[in-house]
Amino acid sequence: MLALFTAIFLNSNVFADDSDLIKSDRQALVDAKSTGASSKIIEAKERLSDDLAMEADQQRKDMEGVTIPLVPDGQGHLLADVLINNKVHATLIVDTGSPVLMLNSSFIQKLGIDPSQSASGYVEVLNGKYKATSVSLDSVRLGGAKAQDVDATVLMESSKEIKDGLLGMSFLSKFHFTLDQTGQELILKKSQ
């Protein structure tokens, strides 16, 4: 009884930072040990070892970050290919000076979002002042980096200067990022 109590105590306290998957693996190992079946114990240990290695590899990747190659547009801007709401690709200008991700009204139609239901106002962008409204995007994916519930501004008048839109801080601030203009790449690391 004391051994079972100790195993449960260790399982719930020492490994409190474990993911649900690892907690489940540890519990399976405790359960396998209580049955005494060596084949179940070996199987549970192997599963725990594999899952710990997988999570360590993911943590290493998160620390290294995701490097996204950017494409110059010939006007001094760097462009990124972004997948919005898991369905539509956009070519966005990387703009660390923009507080939010901005999209042109012509692009927002591809997403099937009706921006007329949101409050509107005006924003100043690059070379002009535009009527705009705000929306929330379910997801924004840039290479291997993904963010959920990203605030965006929709320009109600199309702007030729910004193509599909701007990749601003409402996305970028969800990561530790480095913009390497010389190497024309964006490095995104998961925020802790």
Does residue 49 surpass a pLDDT of 90? no
pLDDT band per the 50, 70, 90 thresholds, residue 160? low
- Whether the per-residue pLDDT at 6 is higher than 60: the answer is no
More confident residue, 122 or 85: 85
pLDDT at 7 over 70: no
Domain with residue 107: its CATH number is 2.40.70.10
- Greater pLDDT, 59 or 107: 107
User: Residue 12's domain spans which residues?
Assistant: 2-64
Regarding whether 153 and 82 lie in a shared domain, the answer is yes
Contacts of 110 (CB under 8 A, 6+ apart): 88
Is the same domain home to 79 and 134? Answer: yes
Same domain, 12 and 86: no
Determine the average pLDDT of the residues in 99-110.
Answer: 88
- Examine the domain organization and report whether 107 and 182 are in the same domain: yes
Residue 95 shares a structural domain with residue 150: yes
Do 171 and 116 lie in one domain? The reply is yes
Among 45, 64, 83, where does a domain finish? 64
Phi and psi at residue 119, in whole multiples of 5°? Answer: -65, 145
Domain match, 58 and 77 both: no
Residues 153-164: what's their mean pLDDT? 78
Domain shared by 18 and 72, yes or no: no
Same domain, 27 and 84: no
Q: Is 14 in the same domain as 28? A: yes
For the chain, the average pLDDT equals 82
DSSP-H helix ranges across the chain? 2-13, 20-35, 38-64, 105-111, 169-172
More confident call, 118 vs 139: 139
**Number of structural domains, the chain?**
2
Q: Determine the pLDDT at residue 95.
A: 92
* Whether pLDDT at 88 is above 90: yes
Domain identity same for 88 and 147: yes
